[in-house]
Amino acid sequence: MSAVLAERGGSLALSGIVKRYDAAPVVRGIGFTLRAGRVTALLGHNGAGKSTVLKILGGAERPTGGTILLDGAPVGFATPREAEAHGIAVVWQELRIIENLTLVRNFFLNREITRAGLVDRAAMRAHVVRALAAHGLDADPDAPAGDLSPGDRQMLEIIIALDKGSRFLLLDEPTSALNASEITRLLETVRRLAAAGTCVVIVTHKLGEALAVADHVVVMKDGDIALDAERGELSEADLAYYITGHRREATPLAEAAPRSAFGGDTMLDIRDLSAGNCLDASLEIHAGRVVGLYGVAGAGQVDLLEALFGVRKLRGGRITLNGTPYIPSTPRAALARGFGFLTDDRKRNGFIPDMTISKNIVLASIRRFARGPWFDADACDIQAKAMASRLAIRSPLTMHVRRLSGGNQQKVIFAKWVTAKSRILLLAEPTKGVDIGAKAEIHGLIRELAASGDTLLVCSSEIEEILEIADVVHVFRHGVCAGQGIPRAEAEAKSLLALSL
Ligand SMILES: Nc1ncnc2c1ncn2[C@@H]1O[C@H](COP(=O)(O)OP(=O)(O)OP(=O)(O)O)[C@@H](O)[C@H]1O
Q: What is the pLDDT of residues 107-160, one digit of tens each?
A: 998 888 888 888 888 999 999 999 999 988 999 999 999 999 888 999 999 999
| CA 240 – CA 258 distance, rounded (Å) | 26
Give nearest CA residue, ligand 1 atom 18: 49
The single-letter code of the amino acid at 439 is K
Strands 290-294 and 216-221: unpaired
CA angle 476/284/309 to nearest 5° reads: 70
Answer positive or negative: Cα dihedral of 292, 298, 299, 301. positive
215 pLDDT more than 70? yes
Band of residue 250 on the pLDDT scale cut at 50, 70, 90 = low
Examine the pLDDT at 383 and tell me if it is beyond 60.
Answer: yes
51 lines ligand 1 (CB under 6 A): yes
Give pLDDT, residue 263: 62
DSSP 377-432: HHHHHHHHHHHHHHTT--S-TTSBGGGS-HHHHHHHHHHHHHHTT-SEEEEESTTT
Burial call 196-228: b when 16+ CB within 10 Å, e when fewer: ebbbbbbbbbbbebbbbbbbbbbbbbbbebbbe
pLDDT at 485 over 80: yes
Inside any domain, residue 121: no
CB burial of residue 116 (10 Å; 0-12, 13-18, 19+): exposed
pLDDT given at position 7: 43
Average pLDDT of the chain to the nearest whole number: 90
Percentage with pLDDT > 90 across the chain: 68
Q: Where does 68-206 have alpha helices with state H?
A: 80-85, 103-107, 121-134, 150-163, 180-195
Are 221 and 319 members of one domain?
Answer: no
Q: Which helix (H) or strand (E) holds 54?
A: helix 50-57
Q: What percent of the chain has pLDDT over 70?
A: 94
Q: What's the rounded mean pLDDT across residues 4-11? A: 60
Four-residue CA torsion sign, 410, 415, 420, 423: positive
Q: Is the pLDDT of residue 87 over 50?
A: yes
Q: Are 152 and 184 in a shared domain?
A: yes
Q: How far are the Cα atoms of 13, 122, 311, 426 from residue 168, in angstroms, in the given order?
A: 11, 30, 41, 40
Query: Could you say which of 244, 266, 287 is where a domain stops?
Result: 244
Residue 308 located in a structural domain: yes
* pLDDT value of residue 466: 93
Assess whether 22 and 158 both reside in one domain.
yes
Task: Report if residue 223 sits inside a domain.
Answer: yes
The radius of gyration of the chain from alpha carbons, rounded to an integer in Å, stands at 24
Confidence of residue 17 (pLDDT cuts 50, 70, 90): very high
Query: What is the ipTM for the molecules in this complex?
Result: 0.98
Q: Of the candidates 59, 79, 44, which has an alpha carbon nearest to the alpha carbon of residue 436?
A: 44
pLDDT band at 258 (very low <50, low <70, confident <90, very high): low
Rounded-to-integer distance, Cα 34 and Cα 20, Å: 23
How far apart (Å, rounded) are the C-alpha atoms in residues 95 and 114? 26
Give the residues across from 493 on adjacent strands. Answer: none
Tens of pLDDT along 425-481?
Answer: 999 999 989 999 889 889 999 999 999 899 999 999 888 999 999 999 999 998 888
The pLDDT of residue 498 is 81
- Same structural domain for residues 306 and 263? yes
Domain shared by 208 and 87, yes or no: yes
* Crossing angle of helices 121-134 and 150-163, rounded to 10°: 110
Residue range of the domain that includes 214:
2-97+148-244
At 404, the amino acid letter reads: L
19, 20, 51: residue to mutate for ligand 1 pocket, most atoms within 8 A of CB:
51
Answer yes or no: do 19 and 58 share one domain: yes
- Kindly state whether residues 236 and 267 are assigned to the same domain: no
pTM above 0.90, yes or no: no
Selection from 94, 171, 51, 100 nearest residue 345 by Cα:
94
pLDDT category at 307 given cuts 50, 70, 90 is very high
Q: Does 129 reside within a domain?
A: no
Cβ–ligand 1 contact at 403 (below 6 Å): yes
Which whole number is the average pLDDT over 10-21? 96
- Model confidence at 385, pLDDT cuts 50, 70, 90, reads very high
Dihedral, CA atoms, 22, 347, 245, 201, nearest 10 degrees? -90
Residue 125 in domain = no
Domain finish residue from 244, 266, 301: 244
Number of domain units in the chain: 2
The overall longest dimension of the chain from CA atoms, in Å, is 75
Question: Does 292 reside within a domain?
Answer: yes
Q: Please give the Cα distance from 306 to 457 (Å, whole number).
A: 11
Distance 389 CA to ligand 1 centre (A): 18
* Co-location of 257 and 170 in the same domain: no
- Same domain membership, residue 155 and residue 72: yes
Shared domain for 166 and 302, answered yes or no, is no
User: What is the CATH number for 471?
Assistant: 3.40.50.300
CA of residue 46 to ligand 1 center, whole Å? 8
Do residues 43 and 152 both lie within one domain? yes
* Same domain for 228 and 274: no
Closest atom, ligand 1, to C-alpha of 55? 18
What's the mean pLDDT in 319-348? Answer: 90
User: Which atom of ligand 1 is nearest to 45's Cα?
Assistant: 25
Residue 162 is assigned to a structural domain of this protein: yes
Sign of the dihedral through C-alpha 141, 146, 150, 156:
positive
Q: Is the pLDDT of residue 1 over 50?
A: no
Residue 21 Cβ inside 6 Å of ligand 1? The answer reads: yes
Q: Which of 193, 214, 244 is the last residue of a domain?
A: 244
Does residue 445 lie within any of the structural domains?
Answer: no
Q: Which of 402, 418, 439 has the alpha carbon at shortest distance from 176?
A: 439
Q: For ligand 1, pick from 225, 404, 414 the residue to mutate: most ligand atoms within 8 Å of CB.
A: 404
